[in-house]
Amino acid sequence: MKQSLHNNHAALLHKIETIENDVKNLKLSVLKKLAPSAKKNISFKGILKGIDITEKDIALAKKSLCSKIKA
C-alpha cells in the first residue's frame, strides 16, 4: 500500500514538473515573438532627397509648433 502511494506521488510530481517545463517553454516562446526584432531603422534622408528646406520653412514650422504652447 505504501509503495503504490509513493509511486502515485512520484508520478504526480513528475507530471507537475513536466507541466512546469511546458509552461516555461511557452513563456519563452511568447516572449521571443513579442520582443522587438533587430529591424533596420528607416532613415528620412531618402524621403527628403532633392527637397530644399529654407529658413522661412523652419520659421513657419517653429511658429506652428510654438503657437500651441502658452507661456
Query: Mean pLDDT, the chain, as a whole number?
Result: 82
Counting residues of the chain whose pLDDT is more than 70, the rounded percentage is 85
CA–CA dist 26, 10 (Å, integer): 24
pTM: 0.44
**Cα separations in angstroms, 17 against 6, 11, 35:** 16, 10, 27
Quick check: 68 pLDDT over 70?
A: no
Note the pLDDT of residue 5. 73
- In the predicted model, what is the mean pLDDT of residues 14-36? 91
- In the predicted model, what is the mean pLDDT of residues 52-60? 88
